[in-house]
Amino acid sequence: MSKKNKNKSGELSIAQKNIRKRYRNAKGQLVSYQDVQNIKNYWRELIPQDKKPDNYNDPNFLRVTLKNLQPDELKQFSSQGSKGFTDEIPELFLVDSALPITVETTVDMRLNQAEAEGTKLFYNDQKVSKKELLAILQEYSDQVKEDTIKSGQNWYKTYATLQVDYKKNKITFDDTGDDTTGDPVADKKSKRYKDSQKLNKEQKKWLKNRNKK
């Protein structure tokens, strides 16, 4: 390793450590995050339980499999795996818990996994970092807690709905309101409200530009 790539104490930087953890193909080339996700999905969703190989549950299974694939084979598996994704799924993750023991997946755990898998993170339409999204989710959770206490109730757990798009390797937290209830009348009202808010935003922008002239 060249002198340039080492820090003062002679240790590898975080970026250097991370690149060592990345998957490589039979030619030693780095495999893209997207291809890794697709191949993981190929084995997960397209191969039946009884057809999965003996070492499937081995933590090194994916690393070993990718290491044995030539670039063209890898592309073929990736292409197959990419067909095995659904639309984005509204998954619920725990933000805060008043109870000391919980086995549920927290937002921290999910976003750490997302970081390792190169997942892009979004808050509404805006791309954000993991740190920023965690701060937004904490603020959202605190607001829920505040509202609950003010309405004379206790809170036990708070959850956030993250739209997990496995196909595009993207996670979105949309707080403009997934307040859908399943009741068509109420939901229609909510959509109308959202649309009117959007229109109002556009009209305010127009007014701002007009005042500048």
Partner 1 sequence: MAKKQKQKIVTCKLNKKFPELLDSFIALGTPIEVGLGKYSSYIITKNSNTKYKFLTKLQTKKTFIGYVKILKDLKRPEVEVVLSDLKDSIKESDNTYFDYGKAQNCEYENAVCVDLNSAYLQALYNLTLITKDTKDWIEKYLTKRERLVAVGMLAKQKEILQFENSKLISDTKEDAKNRFIFNAVIQEVASVMNKVAQNHVDDFISYWVDGIYLKNVFIAFEVVDQFEKAGFPCKIEELTDFKGKMSWSHMTYTYNKEGQSKKLDLPIRAVHDLRKRRIVSVINSKRIERNMPTLSLDDLSHRKYSQGLLALS
Of the pair 19, 149, the CB lying nearest partner 1 is at 149
**Distance linking the first and last C-alpha atoms of the chain:** 59
What is the three-class DSSP state of 89? strand
Q: Other C-beta atoms within 10 Å of 192: how many?
A: 10
Residues 67-96 interacting with partner 1 (rule: CB under 8 A): 83-84, 86-87, 89-92
Of the pair 33, 56, the CB lying nearest partner 1 is at 56
Options 178, 193, 195, 198; binder of partner 1; rule CB under 8 A: 178
Which of these ranges, 3-11, 38-46, 70-78, 131-139, lies near partner 1 under the rule CB under 8 A?
Answer: 38-46
Of the pair 102, 143, the CB lying nearest partner 1 is at 102
- Residue-wise over 165-189: b if at least 16 C-beta within 10 A, else e? bbbebbbbbeeeeeeeeeeeeeeee
Q: How far is the CB of 159 from partner 1 (least distance, A)?
A: 6
Of the pair 33, 61, the CB lying nearest partner 1 is at 61
Q: How far is the CB of 57 from partner 1 (least distance, A)?
A: 6
CA distance 41 to 29: 21
Residue 124 and residue 197 in contact, taking contact as beta carbons nearer than 8 Å: no
Q: Please state whether beta strands 157-165 and 170-173 pair in parallel, antiparallel, or not at all (unpaired).
A: antiparallel
Q: How far is the CB of 71 from partner 1 (least distance, A)?
A: 26
Q: How many residues comprise the chain?
A: 213
Q: Other C-beta atoms within 10 Å of 130: how many?
A: 16
Options 131, 156, 195, 203; binder of partner 1; rule CB under 8 A: 156
Residues in contact with partner 1 by CB under 8 A are 44-57, 83-84, 86-87, 89-92, 104, 153, 156-157, 159, 161, 178, 180-182, 184, 187
